[in-house]
Structure 1
């Protein structure tokens, strides 16, 4: 039936054209924004996952900064330990020289005093961002330092942080009390405390001096030599521990960077638009749109053809 009141063909063509225009608008939005899922309305599940993962990626970026700070701190501590080992090695050589008959011990002691002052200078200057792992005072004593190593989210959505911990008592070279005097208790500073060593009889003995207070003009040189050598061993162990921590920080930094990249790739697969696919789809929609306009034009012209029946 042909009617001048209701044009079913035009109505159908118009509905089709509206659908094509809507699809074209969505495709154009994807092309302009680069996202196939930009809002929750596009795909609530994927949008929710992507939003959470982007937040976690930002947290991992902060972890990277923390690891960088930790790496710098451990680098400084390791450098101080390594430099101090070289200076103590020199002191050991001076003690050996002082053991030779006829040597002027007072002159050797002056040289040792310069080396002792250098050790204190190294320890005090080994500070980064307010942290010093080798020089400790009454107000900034040795203790466990935590470096944020990773951000974690479990299967239940609970979040947590992984930390790398190190007790700076193990790397402490100099420790002073509130008056600025050296703390002489064994283990309170490898260079500033009295030294516990194994004597000739195989027993454990403790000196009445430290590396920083050693005076070859009055000390038992056999005892001093054994004690200084023991300190060298302890400093080498401390440097090895700090070096191992530094190596772990480097590995963790690489892992966090790779993890961030994986998160970015995963989010991209969920929400990024495939530009090749979208451009092809846009071409098809443009063709459909032209055909839809043509179909609507034909449907609208059918009512004009009714006039010819009355001529």
Structure 2
């Protein structure tokens, strides 16, 4: 039973004391609730407009957090691919150096070829190892569309009508051409797709030899699952002619140029992801701060308010006690008449 329920038929002074005490108790309960939750707008009845804004904003903050997680995953995937391309450039450069060395007629070309064979195996290893979370952006496998760009979530965009869409960052590689596959279509390191000819992989495409005017369809690596008929994997033999070496060097030089273009594309995407990640973090902080200004309680102010209301409550209880005692005394006096 509350302290208010015992006073049913009371004097005006007791009624006044009760109303003051009730009002103080209501304010104290509200102040203590704000202290415990840290919010001055906790439910829709506190402030419908601010509550709606804060609810929508918290939803956006949650979505931005998911975008940040996706960006982190994408950053690791792109970084792995970029590292793979960078390592491949170093190895292909070394292969070209070995081929240039074969210009000298007194050089043992078979020994040079042993070194080149090891370097080619390293290229295959680099391509297959550049995988993060099961995703490899530099080796084209069955089931992937070589013409489709790799996309990752990059931003949360809320339209003026309240709809939300996710902005995407994409890696389209280099500019592809229409018609027959050309060197510009090679945006992978290796193309191992079945049914193809390896044309979408720099190391497996014959387009570089064709465009360099080589006498043979030279490639650095054969596609594991593609049609490699008519292709010649770059290698040296004791009787390899100087003209063939020139063709190989020109082909590898063209491959290096394309690899650097791909590396540049990955580098640009890495920079965009890093910038977008920083922006998403700043945006989340800004939204959190903005909604906090609308709904967060001033803890210092609320603490002072709770102390003041507790004091008022004690004074109210004393006033009620005095008013009640006076009422009882008067009642006893009138009972004697």
Q: Distance in 2 between matches of 1:285 and 1:18?
A: 12
1:54 corresponds to 2:79:
no
Q: Secondary structure at the match of 1:246?
A: helix
Q: Distance in 1 between matches of 2:299 and 2:208?
A: 72
**Where in structure 2 are the equivalents of 1:1-311 lying within 5 Å?**
7-142=11-146, 143-168=148-173, 171-178=187-194, 183-185=197-199, 188-196=200-208, 205=213, 207-212=216-221, 213-217=233-237, 218=240, 220-303=244-327, 304-305=329-330, 307-308=332-333
The alpha-carbon deviation at position 293 of structure 1 amounts to 2.1
Query: Do the aligned partners of residues 170 and 226 (structure 1) sit closer, same or farther apart at CA in structure 2, a change above 3 Å counting?
Result: closer
Higher mean displacement: 82-91 or 205-214: 205-214
The alpha-carbon deviation at position 205 of structure 1 amounts to 2.9
Q: Distance in 2 between matches of 1:153 and 1:81?
A: 37
The alpha-carbon deviation at position 75 of structure 1 amounts to 0.7
Q: Distance in 2 between matches of 1:279 and 1:170?
A: 67
Q: Distance in 1 between matches of 2:135 and 2:250?
A: 32
The alpha-carbon deviation at position 83 of structure 1 amounts to 0.6
The alpha-carbon deviation at position 285 of structure 1 amounts to 1.3
The alpha-carbon deviation at position 6 of structure 1 amounts to 5.4
Query: Do the aligned partners of residues 73 and 6 (structure 1) sit closer, same or farther apart at CA in structure 2, a change above 3 Å counting?
Result: closer
TM-score by length of 1: 0.88
Q: Secondary structure at the match of 1:132?
A: coil
Calculate the aligned-residue CA RMSD, in Å.
2.2
Considering Cα pairs closer than 8 Å and 6+ residues apart, tell me whether 1 or 2 has the greater RCO: 1
Number of residue equivalences: 299
Query: Do the aligned partners of residues 224 and 305 (structure 1) sit closer, same or farther apart at CA in structure 2, a change above 3 Å counting?
Result: same
Instruction: List alignment gaps of at least 5 residues for structure 2.
Output: 1-8, 174-184, 222-232
Q: Distance in 1 between matches of 2:193 and 2:168?
A: 30
Contact 2:206–2:218 (8 Å) recurs in 1: yes
Deviations 1:4-61 (A, max 9, x none): x651111112111111111111111111222111111222221221111111111111
Q: Distance in 2 between matches of 1:85 and 1:141?
A: 24
Query: Do the aligned partners of residues 122 and 269 (structure 1) sit closer, same or farther apart at CA in structure 2, a change above 3 Å counting?
Result: same
Q: Secondary structure at the match of 1:183?
A: coil
Q: Distance in 2 between matches of 1:176 and 1:141?
A: 12
Contact 2:210–2:217 (8 Å) recurs in 1: no
Q: Distance in 2 between matches of 1:281 and 1:50?
A: 25
Contact 1:75–1:246 (8 Å) recurs in 2: yes
Q: Distance in 2 between matches of 1:276 and 1:211?
A: 71
Q: Secondary structure at the match of 2:235?
A: coil
Contact 1:53–1:263 (8 Å) recurs in 2: yes
Q: Distance in 1 between matches of 2:93 and 2:129?
A: 20
The alpha-carbon deviation at position 198 of structure 1 amounts to 9.3
TM-score by length of 2: 0.82
